[in-house]
Amino acid sequence: KPGINIMPNEEILYLKTILSSVRDLNISISKISFDIETLDLTVQTEARARLMFSLRFNPTLLTLSLKDILGKQKLNTLEYIDFRTENKVFYK
């Protein structure tokens, strides 16, 4: 129904933070998918790398971690960057 939230406000705030971080780093997006059951958000970039996030955890350090990885690796050389584990980042 209109006006009813599909997610708690905290998760909506996390979603906005993640999308703002991706936008602020000028990452071109080709597709975004979200799994409401697992609260996993996947951003497919134009460079073909997948950025995987979880709305279960506060993404405050996300921008710094993502900026650090992109300073070491070019996005088009990566298959994925996985932020779905709290306080850990995996990339390949």
Residue 83's pLDDT is what?
94
Q: What whole-number distance in Å separates Cα of residue 88 and Cα of residue 84?
A: 8
**Cα dihedral: 27, 29, 35, 41 (round 10):** 0
pTM of this prediction? 0.88
DSSP string, 31-74: EEEEETTTTEEEEEETTS-EEEEETTS--TTHHHHHHHHHHHS-
pLDDT tens per residue across span 45-58: 999 999 999 999 99
Question: Of 91, 25, 76, 11, which Cα lies nearest the Cα of 46?
Answer: 76
| Position 60 confidence tier, pLDDT thresholds 50, 70, 90 | confident
pLDDT tens per residue across span 17-32: 999 999 999 999 999 9
Residue 9's pLDDT is what?
86
